[in-house]
Amino acid sequence: MMLAALEPTPSWYLVLAALLFTIGAVGVLVRRNPLVMFMCIELMLNAVNLSFVSLASALDDVSGQTVVFFVLVVAAAEVVVGLGIVVAIQRRRPGATADDLAALKG
Amino acid sequence: MLDYLWLIPALPLAGFLVLVVAGRRLGEPLAGWIATVMAASSFVVTAAVFLALLGEPEEERRAVDVLFSWIPAGSFQVDAALLADPLSVAMALFVTGIGSLIHLYSIGYMHGDRDYTKFFVYLNLFVFSMLMLVLGENMLVTFLGWEGVGVCSYLLISFWHTRESAATAGKKAFVTNRIGDVGFMLAIFLTFSTVGSISYLELNEAAAELSSTTAAAIALLLFVGACGKSAQLPLYVWLPDAMEGPTPVSALIHAATMVTAGVYLMTRVNPLLHEVEWVGTTIAVVGVGTALFAATIAVAQNDIKKVLAYSTISQLGYMFLAVGSGAYVAAVFHMITHAFFKALLFLGSGSVIHGMHDEQDMRYMGALRKFMPITFGTFVIGWLAIAGVPPFAGFWSKDEILLFAYDKSVVLWAIGIVTALLTAYYMTRQVVMVFYGEARWDDPRDAHASSPGDEAVADHAGGPGRRPHESPWLMLTPLVVLALLSIVGGVMQLPFENLHFLEEWLHPVVEEGERVLASGTKDIKWILAGVAAAVAFLGIGLAWLVYERKKVRAIEPKVLAHAWYVDEGVAAFVDGPGRAAFQAIADGDQGLVDGAVNGTAGAVARAGAGLRRFQSGAVRNYGLGIAIGAVALLAWFVSRGLL
């Protein structure tokens, strides 16, 4: 009975997604290592994915899951480009942090 | 024969095209002969059309030949159409006739010129344009010709364009004519918007129904155009300078044909002028004012062609006096006789210049009658004709104008008579200076004050000791023909019963506008004619005493030699207050318009500089911005209860 009371509801997943998203967002804002920031962005993306999936299941609507596929594909492409940039930066300026990369300062 | 109306302008156009394509290969003198033959055949066709019209009953002497639909645009329909009626055919006759003679003359005159063929290209193009002008069935076709003759005039004035003065004179003529052309264009616009058509026939038919303001506006705008083309006050300034062109050009364009286009245009719309009395008065006053003004200047000119140029302006003034007095027949009559004797005088002066090895200053001439007998003989006939000695052509036409002017106002007549006196005076002065007295062509240059044309003349002039010679027969033939015409030209319209040939011929065109003389004027017409003849003899006698007998000291005030300082005045005005005004406008433009533009740009630049601080270049700052923005947006939605 207690276990039944602990049956996860869609809100749980949404709360989890919100938590993951917050961790990711804070990570982007506070970390200076480009690679870690990159991982945080992935975390945010996947938090959104999680909320899509859970809502799709709760509302019994498959379109939410469809969107997730799109996000996965785009994220994969983005990883390729992003990691390439990170590697290139690390080659030119070993140990550079995100704050060091301010060439576009107005 | 009327079906071949299109041939009249087509022949000179064909000549033009042939010479453009193959002129250089044809060379001298073949190119000249082709051009002459084209002009002459155009004259033959015109004569045939004239005879065909003559065969018709009077009220049917009108034929419209629609070549093609030119501008079919909604309610604005313009045909490229030619109109053959007594007026246009009379004009075409003397344009092609005198044009052919001058073409012939040019073969001799332009002999050896570097641009011999180019000259005939322009000349044929001019004849074509002039024919489009007079034969046009509507204002737009006329305008096409009007601009065409303007371009040819420009090209031919600056024909010797390597000479600075010639290039400048061409530009002056072009710019001055533009001012008049604006008037013509506005008249066309106004005609279309009020009458709904720009055909002359429809305009003249609708003239009576137009409000007097509209009629006056159209007439005055057309008159502005006429002032530019026909060198009336205040737009006459280009014509004296136009003498920089070759002399046949001065004879053809700037004496006989193109400058009379304004008179033609006014005659063409005579029913319109008839509607408003004061427009006619304005035209008459401008005309007679120009006549007197130009005649005074001619008294003190030393350049043989400048005298004739001012004389032309003066005679054109007479024609406008006639138009303003409602004497359209007299205007056309004088236009034709003037074309005869002024072309004769110009060609004669060209012959003199040719014989004197490009000398134009009359102070270095004299005694030429022994060396150039035929030129002298024909020049004398032209002189007597323009001076108004009976029975030469000029007497009859000038007398008719003065008769109508008297009927309109005694003041107009009096000024006309004074002008006639001056005309006889300055023409006698010219004849005496050129053909009588002792030979002065070897005089040292510094013996006389230099005139503006001197350097140009010096380029061409032969050294001292070269004798003047008579011109070749090619140049003399036109002189003789024109001299004959100047003698008998008056036969067209004699003031005797049943001898009003021109009046009968033009009657269908001018019957609306022609002034009916008061019976009082008719009674004294012989007295007026007597006065005019007496005045002519008086002027000749006076000048003879002054210049030949040297009994009276010549009065040639500097102010007249400088043409009343009009050119200098305009130059001073434009250079002084004019330049200051333009500078002020330029400054205003810089301060106001540029200031507004630069101020806006400056404000944007300052705002940009302020906003730069937000572009830190640090990714994490942007991320923070996005996060804050997202939260704020979310908060706003929540607070409005939208979520």
Inspect the interface and report whether the beta carbons of A104 and B617 lie closer than 8 Å: yes
List the structure tokens of B500: 């009003």
Asked whether the predicted pLDDT for residue A46 surpasses 90, the reply is yes
Q: What is the pLDDT of residues B169-219, one digit of tens each?
A: 999 999 999 999 999 999 999 999 999 889 999 998 888 888 889 999 999
Confidence band (pLDDT; 50, 70, 90) for A3? low
Residue B241 predicted with pLDDT over 70: yes
Mutate to test the interface with A, among B611, B612, B615, B620 (most CBs of A within 10 A): B620
Structure tokens given for B232:
């009336």
Q: Is B436 helix (H, G, I), strand (E, B) or coil?
A: coil
pLDDT at residue B451, as a whole number: 46
**Residue in chain B lying closest to A33 (CA):** B620
- pLDDT attached to residue B562: 87
> Which of the pair, B586 or B59, is modelled with greater confidence?
B586
Which pLDDT belongs to residue B462? 46
pLDDT band at residue A4, thresholds of 50, 70 and 90? low
Q: What pLDDT, on a 0 to 100 scale, did the predictor assign at position B465?
A: 53
- Cβ distance of B619 and A32 shorter than 8 Å: no
- B618:A99 CB<8 A: yes
User: What pLDDT, on a 0 to 100 scale, did the predictor assign at position A5?
Assistant: 66
Given CB atoms, is B592 within the 8 Å cutoff of chain A? no
pLDDT for B458: 42
Q: pLDDT of B31-55, one tens digit each?
A: 999 999 999 999 999 999 999 998 8
Mean pLDDT of B417-440: 92
Token representation of residue A61: 């609507």
How many angstroms separate the Cα of B36 from the Cα of each of A1, B127, B252, B523? 125, 11, 13, 47
B82-125 per-position pLDDT tens digit: 999 999 999 999 899 999 999 999 998 888 888 899 999 999 99
Residue A60 makes CB contacts below 8 A (sequence gap 6+) with: none
Cα distance from B629 to chain A (closest Cα, Å)?
13
**Type of residue numbered B414:** A
The Cα B638–Cα B413 span in angstroms is 98
pLDDT for position B112: 85
Provide the 10 A C-beta neighbour count for residue B92: 28
Ramachandran sector of residue B357 (left: φ over 0; alpha: ψ -120 to 50; beta: rest)? left
Closest CA–CA distance from residue A13 to any residue of chain B (Å): 20
Task: Tell me which residue in B611, B615, B624 faces A104 most closely, judged by beta carbons.
Answer: B615
Structure tokens at B107: 């073969």
B617·A29 Cβ contact <8 A: no
Peptide bond into B234 cis (omega under 30): yes
| Contact between residue B567 and residue B237 where contact means Cβ atoms under 8 Å apart | yes
Other beta carbons within 10 angstroms of residue B566's beta carbon come to 16
Residue pairs spanning A and B at CB distance below 8 A: 37
Q: pLDDT-based confidence at B452, cuts 50/70/90?
A: very low
Q: Say if residue B412's pLDDT is above 90.
A: yes
| Cβ-Cβ contacts under 8 Å, A102 against chain B | 616-618
Residue A1 scores a pLDDT above 70: no
> Would you state the pLDDT for residue B60?
84
Chain B nearest C-alpha distance from A99 (Å):
5
Instruction: Find the closest chain A residue to B615 by CA distance.
Output: A106
pLDDT of A6 > 80? The answer is no
Residue A73: per-residue pLDDT: 94
Q: Which chain A residues are closer than 8 Å to B617 by Cβ? A: 101-106
Please state, rounded to an integer, the average pLDDT across all residues of chain B: 89
Count of alpha carbons within 13 angstroms of residue B484, beta-carbon side? 7
Per-residue tokens: B264: 């033609």
Hey, is B81 helix, strand or coil?
strand
Q: Mutating which of B614, B615, B619 best tests the A interface, going by the most A Cβ atoms within 10 A?
A: B619
**Residues above pLDDT 70, as percent of chain B:** 96
Write down the pLDDT at residue B445. Answer: 63
- φ and ψ of B72, to 5 deg: -90, 95
Chain A residues closer than 8 Å to B616 by CB: 102, 105-106
